[in-house]
Amino acid sequence: MIIDCHTHWSMDQWPQNKPDPETWWDVPGRHGIDHAIVLPLAALTDDTKLQLENDRIHQVCRESNGRMIPFCSVKPSQGDPAVAELQRCTGKFHTRGIKIHPWLQGTCVNTSHMDRICEVAGDSGIPLLFHDGTPCVSLPSQIGLLARRHPKTTMILGHLGLMEHWREAISVMRKESNIWGCLCGPHVAAIKEILQRCDRSRLLWGSDYGFGNVDPIDYRLDLLKIQNLKHGDMEKILDHNPKRLLSL
C-alpha cells in the first residue's frame, strides 16, 4: 500500500460547490497511490478562504471512499479565531491533522499563538504538518523548538529541510522524538543520509501533488525507489508509518 502524506487540494483549482474527488484522484490513482493526506492550498495565501476551503476539503475527502484523508489549516496569528476554527474542524469534521505553512501564511513558529494551536492539536491527538526548509520562519530547528515546548504534540517536517536544510532536519529528528519527517523535497544524496541517520519509524513519503497543475508523483517515488531500500523499510515509509501516525 502507498500512502502519499503530502498532497494539496485547492478550492481555486476545484471550485465546484460539490467537489468531485474522482477528477483529483485521477493522477494518484494512475500511480498506484492508495491513500493521500490532503492539505489545503488556496487558504494558505488568502486566509479569507480558510473556512470555506476547510469545509470543501472535508467534503471532498468524505466522498472519496476513504482514499483522501483531510487536514485543515488555520492562521495561528489570528489568535482566538484560529483556535475556534481548529476546534470547529476537529469537532465537526474530525479533521486528521493541521497544515501550517509559516512563510505563505505570514506566521512565526515560535509564538504564543502557535503554542495555543499546538495545545489544541495535542489535546485532540492530531499532528501538525509544517512546510519547512525555508528561512526565516520555516527552518527545521525553529519547528524543533516548538516541538520541545509541546512534547505531546506530533509535528511533521513536511519537506525534511528541502535542498539545503536537510542536515538540520536530521539533527532535529534525532533530538525531538515527537518530530516526524516527510520525504518530499530533499535530493537523492540527502534522502540517503536521512534514511541512514533518522528513525525510520518516523519517516513518511509525500509527492506535493496538487501544488500547481503538475504530476510530481512518479519523480518523487523514483527518488525513493533508487535508494534500493529493503522491502520492509519501503513498507514502513509508504504504508505502516502513516497508518500508525493517523491510527488508520
Name the site residues for another protein (rule: CB under 8 A).
103, 133-136, 162-165, 185, 187-190, 192-193, 212, 214-216, 219, 222-223, 226
Query: What is the SS3 string spanning 58-76?
Result: HHHHHCCCCCEEECEECCH
Cell numbers 486566509 label which residue? 47
Least distance CB 164 / another protein (angstroms): 5
Q: Is the CB of 43 or the CB of 245 nearer to another protein?
A: 43
Q: Which three cell numbers stand for residue 217?
A: 508523483
The Cβ of residue 172 has, within 10 Å, a number of other Cβ atoms equal to 27
Least distance CB 214 / another protein (angstroms): 3
How far, in Å, are 4, 35, 42 from residue 29 at the CA level? 11, 9, 23
Least distance CB 123 / another protein (angstroms): 32
Cell numbers 534522502 label which residue? 191
Q: Is the CB of 193 or the CB of 199 nearer to another protein?
A: 193
Q: Is the CB of 126 or the CB of 224 nearer to another protein?
A: 224
Q: Is the CB of 83 or the CB of 108 nearer to another protein?
A: 108
Least distance CB 130 / another protein (angstroms): 14
Is-contact 167 196, C-beta < 8 A?
no
Q: Is the CB of 199 or the CB of 222 nearer to another protein?
A: 222
Is-contact 39 71, C-beta < 8 A?
yes
Least distance CB 18 / another protein (angstroms): 28
Least distance CB 167 / another protein (angstroms): 9
Cβ-count burial 70-102 (b if 16+ within 10 Å, e if not) = bbbbbbbebeeebbebbebbbeebebbbbbbbb
SS3 content of the chain, % helix, strand, coil (to 5): 50, 15, 35
What CA–CA distance (Å, rounded) separates 63 from 71? 15
Q: Is the CB of 23 or the CB of 196 nearer to another protein?
A: 196
Q: Is the CB of 120 or the CB of 190 nearer to another protein?
A: 190
Least distance CB 83 / another protein (angstroms): 29
Kindly state the DSSP code that residue 239 receives in the 8-state scheme.
I
